[in-house]
A and B are shown apart, each in its own frame.
Chain A
Amino acid sequence: MFGKYDLDLKIKEKELEIVVEGNKKKKRYYRKKGEEEVEKFIYAKEGNLVICPVEPVNLPKEGVSEYLLVELDKPFVIEPGMKGNFYIKFPVEIGVFLVNRRDVERIDIFTFTKPKYTLYGPPERGVVCRWWKSVFYDEKPELSKLYEGLMKVNFENSYWEWVEIKKIVFRAFDMKLFYNEHAYMYSFLKISGKTVGETAFGSRKPKDMEESIDLYQAKGIKKFEKKFFMEWGFK
């Protein structure tokens, strides 16, 4: 379902329906997901519709959080100096954009997941994060494509002690999403202390994948802080 479409389309998948119809200039965008309906009119001569995964921190209300906290169903402990990769899943939010040569405009965001928020750190200094629970995988797992995406985590424990990881926090500002039939991200976790680490994202486009539209850039927000410094531990 992810991809670039002409302004004339009909998608029906499970409980989701997306329709763009109309004459040459005036078109109607209609999206239905379960009970939820969105209808908008579009005046356009040219342009396309892009449906792609976006940073999963926008629903049910935008501006509440800029962070994603993935809690692992079981903690894992990393040996000092150890490097490696593992996979986790993350919630998918789907953005619908109108694009032409000059501009990108977001017209809709929806999700099949149930959003839940949590606090990382103490109440006076912590950050509100979108919460998600994932299993920790050695190999690429099966995905429910519109529901969850795949994140490859490249980790490195540069601390001289064993470190136990139960949760990882990512900054949505820094996210680089890619897609083919499912959403994908590639992240880094650098552990520099028993309770201190840093997360960031890779921006190199994987083979056979498209780059998602960056929601913050589409809004005209300049990104200044990128990496996230996890100073309140991994448990």
Chain B
Amino acid sequence: MNVIELLQDLMNQKIGFLGGRTYGDVLVFLIIIIFSVIIAKIVRINVRRTLKEKVPLTTLNNVEKIVYYGIILIGFIVALPKIGVSLSGLLVAGGILGIVIGFASQTVVSNLISGIFLMIEKPIKVGDGVNINDVSGIVEDIRVLSTTIRTYDGIYVRIPNEKVFSSNIQNYVAHGARRFGYKIGIRYKDDAEKAISIIKDLLGENPFVLKEPSPTIFVEELGESSVNLNIKIWAPSSVWYSVYTEMLWKIKVTLEKEGIEIPFPQRVIWMGNKEG
């Protein structure tokens, strides 16, 4: 008996618990599954290549996932009869099993449904800067069961979609522009109007300090050691942080160059006279 005959015999051997199905059938089942996974991967890569830069990243990710899992599901449905599982039987069994699994996997289902609602409502998109459940960072992916965030320190955080959906979400880039501010104190002897004019000119020079809504600068408080100026700036949401970090130091340097200083806390002490 040669090897081929041996293999043929093995393939024709029936497997008891699979109701008369042979090893050959199982092999065909596995080949179909593997084949569908390979096809799904190839199609996914091509979908990504074709649609990248043509559709928004979130849509691309969703399309990719639908295509990928859709092809695998089709492969699975095609392969099931090979191991003796009929689709009609599966549906009946699925109904009963569904109830059992439903109870056992409430959290998974809840995450799944939350994930679907997140994809429909779109409070966040891939690439957005967000704060969810006290986790701040960039949204890396919105999956069916969970959302992943890369914190600003580069740490990977996976949040179940149920939590994302029920949490307060702060999306820093949902609107085109956002406002931020500084409080800067100057000495009492400095000219506050001159300081305001210097800061206005400086902000006018920065391309991303928006012209409209225009920055507001005003004397907010006569503090213990300084006259406090309040500065409010609008900038495009996508670049606001670089504007924020750049402008504070520039304001300080420019004010000092113009002879306006930011004072240290100080207290005037009157010394009592012994004879008095």
CB within 8 Å of B: which residues of A? 60-61, 63-65, 114-120, 123-128, 131, 219-222
Query: A171 to chain B: closest CB distance in Å?
Result: 14
B54 to A126, Cβ gap below 8 A? no
Q: Identify A119's interface contact among B207, B213, B238, CB under 8 A.
A: B213
B residues less than 8 Å from A60 (CB atoms): 207
- Residue in contact with B234 in the complex, picked from A119, A127, A131, A221, CB distance below 8 Å: A119
| Binding site secondary structure of chain B | loop
Q: Is residue B153 within 8 Å, beta carbon to beta carbon, of the partner chain? A: no
Q: Write the chain B residue with the least CB distance to A118.
A: B211
Residue of B with least CB distance to A223: B54
Binding site for A on B (CB under 8 A): 53-54, 175-179, 207-208, 210-213, 234, 236, 238-239
Closest chain-A Cβ to B54's Cβ sits at a distance in Å of 5
Query: Measured between C-beta atoms, what is the minimum distance from B175 to chain A in Å?
Result: 5
Instruction: Kindly identify which residue among A61, A115, A118, A220 contacts B210, using a CB–CB cutoff of 8 Å.
Output: A118
Indicate if the CB atoms of A115 and B53 lie closer than 8 Å.
no
Docked Cα-Cα span, A222 to B177, in Å, equals 25
In the complex, the answer to whether B54 meets A117 with C-beta atoms within 8 Å is: no
Q: Are B53 and A220 in contact (CB under 8 A)?
A: yes
In Å, the complex CA distance between A123 and B180 comes to 13
**Cross-chain contact B213 with A123 (CB below 8 angstroms):** yes
Q: Which residues of B contact A65 (CB under 8 A)?
A: 236
Which residues from A are CB-within-8-Å of B53? 219-221
Contacts of A116 in B (CB 8 A): 207, 211
A123 to B213, CA, bound (A): 8
CB distance from A229 to the nearest CB of B (A): 15
Whole-angstrom CA separation of A115 from B212 in the bound complex: 14
Bound CA span A221–B54, Å: 5
A115: chain B residues at CB < 8 Å are 207
A189 to B49, CA, bound (A): 37
CB-based contact B238/A222 at 8 Å: no
The reply to whether B239 and A61 contact each other, CB–CB distance below 8 Å, is yes
A220 contacts B54, CB within 8 Å?
Answer: yes
Q: Is the CB of A128 within 8 A of B210?
A: yes
CB distance from B49 to the nearest CB of A (A): 11
| Complex contact B236–A126 (CB within 8 A) | no
The answer to whether A126 and B177 have CB atoms under 8 Å apart is: yes
Q: Kindly state the separation between the CA atoms of A64 and B239 in the bound complex, as whole angstroms.
A: 8
Question: With the chains together, A220 CA to B213 CA distance in Å?
Answer: 34
In the complex, A124→B211 CA distance in Å? 16
Shortest CB distance A84–B (Å): 28
Centre residue among A117, A123, A221 by max chain B CB count within 10 A: A117
Q: How far is the CA of A116 from the CA of B211 in the complex (A)?
A: 7
C-alpha spacing A131/B236, complex, angstroms:
13
Distance of A191 Cα from B131 Cα, bound (Å): 41
Q: Report whether B238 and A64 are in contact in the complex, using a CB–CB cutoff of 8 Å.
A: yes
Chain B residues near A220: list those with CB within 8 A.
53-54
Q: Which residue of A has the minimal Cβ distance to B204?
A: A116
A132–B175 alpha-carbon span in the complex (Å) = 22
| Cross-chain contact A117 with B213 (CB below 8 angstroms) | no
How far, in Å, is A23 (CB) from chain B's closest CB? 34
**Contacts A64-B236, A119-B212 hold; do A128 and B177 have CB atoms under 8 A apart?**
yes
State the CA gap A219–B53 with chains docked (Å).
Answer: 8
**Given the contacts A128-B177, A220-B53, A221-B53, A123 and B234 also touching, CB distance less than 8 Å:** yes
The interface residues of chain A lying within 8 Å CB-to-CB of B176 are: 119, 123, 125-128
Q: How far is the CA of A116 from the CA of B203 in the complex (A)?
A: 11
- Inside 8 A of B179's CB, which chain A residues have their CB? 123
How many Å from the CB of A75 to the closest CB on chain B? 15
Task: Report the minimum CB–CB distance from B61 to chain A (whole Å).
Answer: 18
B175 & A123 in contact (Cβ 8 Å cutoff):
yes
Q: Inside 8 A of A64's CB, which chain B residues have their CB?
A: 208, 236, 238-239
Determine the distance from Cα of A126 to Cα of B177 in the docked complex, in whole angstroms. 8
Whether the Cβ atoms of A117 and B207 lie closer than 8 Å is: yes
